[in-house]
Amino acid sequence: MRIDLHSHSTASDGTQPPSDVVRRARERGLDVLALTDHDTVAGHRAAIEALPAGLTLVPGMELSCRRGGQSIHLLAYLFDPLEPELAAECARIREAREVRARLTVERLVALGVPVTWEQVAELAAGSPVGRPHIARAMVAAGAIAEPALAFTPEWIGAGGRAHVSRYALDPERAVRLVRAAGGAAVLAHPKAAERGKVVPDEWIGELAAAGLFGVEADHLDHDAAAREHVRGLARDLGLAVTGSSDDHGELTGHRLGCETTSAEVYERLTTTAIGATPVAAQAH
């Protein structure tokens, strides 16, 4: 089995609608795909309705967390999306995301970048506006050559001239919320040094004590040393190890399936998380 447990659609900051993401996943030879848009399950229904034969969808979400001023991403799988406390926190995060985006656009305009809220919202196409949409607007305005250049101290990266912080969950609380909703939580790309998102080992230990299911080791933002370190940490803490593409469509080069998770870990995930079930394509 080929299993990719981290992907994004236009329901958050991917460039393709959920229907295209699942179609492309099957074309890339995947058997299982998790759709994990940021702080939302809005893309699940469209993905399920478009599931091609041979592909199973794992309903998921990537939760925005923060500790000590550092952004941390938590992948949540097979949880009950109607669990009141988790749903309320996701709504709060999404509302804060729009406030942040509007303030970011204002700061960019003040810095001489000719972008407008209307342009950014059009790129989001009805989805919650995120920094990748702003980055694409900056490219269109000629301020930068590619979206990745926006996420630097010069622009909207952490500590950047136009950076705006926003509400996010404490990661330990997020792990407990996911578990209370019947789901399982995996720490996304914990040693992504180039992103400036290196989660200290001590924090990972605390998350494990709070009920963390696993850690994402095989990710393109991890070099060989980082992957080995994460695997060793997982062994010490009794955590599962996952691998995923973190595909965002055009933004990441259409890389679905470039990293995968073992069938053994997938089986463990589906027996641990009971808030929802994987969905297989329906016969037509």
Phi (first) and psi of residue 107, to 5 degrees: -70, -40
Asked whether residue 121 carries a pLDDT value surpassing 50, the answer given is yes
Q: Is 93:65 a contact under the CB 8 Å cutoff?
A: no
Query: Taking all residues of the chain, what is their mean pLDDT, rounded to a whole number?
Result: 95
Neighbours of 224 (CB within 10 A): 7
Share of the chain above pLDDT 90, in %: 87
Dist CA 243 CA 266 (whole Å): 11
| pLDDT classification of 284: cutoffs 50, 70, 90 | very low
Residue 251 has pLDDT above 90, yes or no: no
The token duo for 227 is 């992957």
Q: Residue 127 above 70 pLDDT? A: yes
SS3 state at 160: coil
DSSP E strands, 41-189:
56-67, 70-77, 184-187
Tokens read off for 234:
């997982």
Where do the DSSP E strands lie in the chain? 3-4, 32-35, 56-67, 70-77, 184-187, 191-192, 197-198, 214-218, 240-243, 279-280
C-alpha–C-alpha distance, residues 179 and 145, integer Å: 42
166, two tokens: 């926003």
- Residues 177-234 have pLDDT tens digits of 999 999 999 999 999 987 767 999 999 999 999 999 999 999 999 999 999 999 999 9
Integer Cα distance of 268 and 284 in angstroms: 30
- 62-71, 103-112, 199-208, 269-278: least confidently modelled range: 62-71
Residue 283 pLDDT more than 70? no
Query: Is the pLDDT reported for residue 63 higher than 70?
Result: yes
Q: Which two tokens stand for residue 35?
A: 């759709």
Residue range 253-272, pLDDT digits in tens: 999 999 999 999 999 999 99
Say whether pLDDT at 115 is over 60. yes
Q: Which residues contact 230 (CB under 8 A, 6 or more apart)?
A: 190, 191, 215, 216, 217, 222, 241
pLDDT score recorded for residue 257: 97
In angstroms, how far is the first alpha carbon of the chain from the final one? 23
Q: Which residues contact 163 (CB under 8 A, 6 or more apart)?
A: 104, 155, 156, 157
**pLDDT tens for residues 11-29?**
998 999 999 999 999 999 9
Name the residue among 85, 117, 115, 112 with its Cα closest to residue 101: 117
What is the structure's pLDDT at 194?
75
Handedness of CA 105, 174, 46, 9 (dihedral sign): positive
Given a cut of 70, is residue 88 above it in pLDDT? yes
Q: What is the mean pLDDT of residues 236-265?
A: 96
pLDDT at 263: 98
What integer pLDDT is reported at residue 118 of this predicted model? Answer: 95
Residue of 21, 52, 31 whose CA lies nearest to 260: 31
| Mean predicted confidence (pLDDT) in 52-79 | 95
Question: Would you mind telling me the total number of residues written for the chain in this entry?
Answer: 284
Q: What is the mean pLDDT of residues 169-173?
A: 97
Q: Are 73 and 54 in contact (CB under 8 A)?
A: no
CA distance 44 to 35: 7
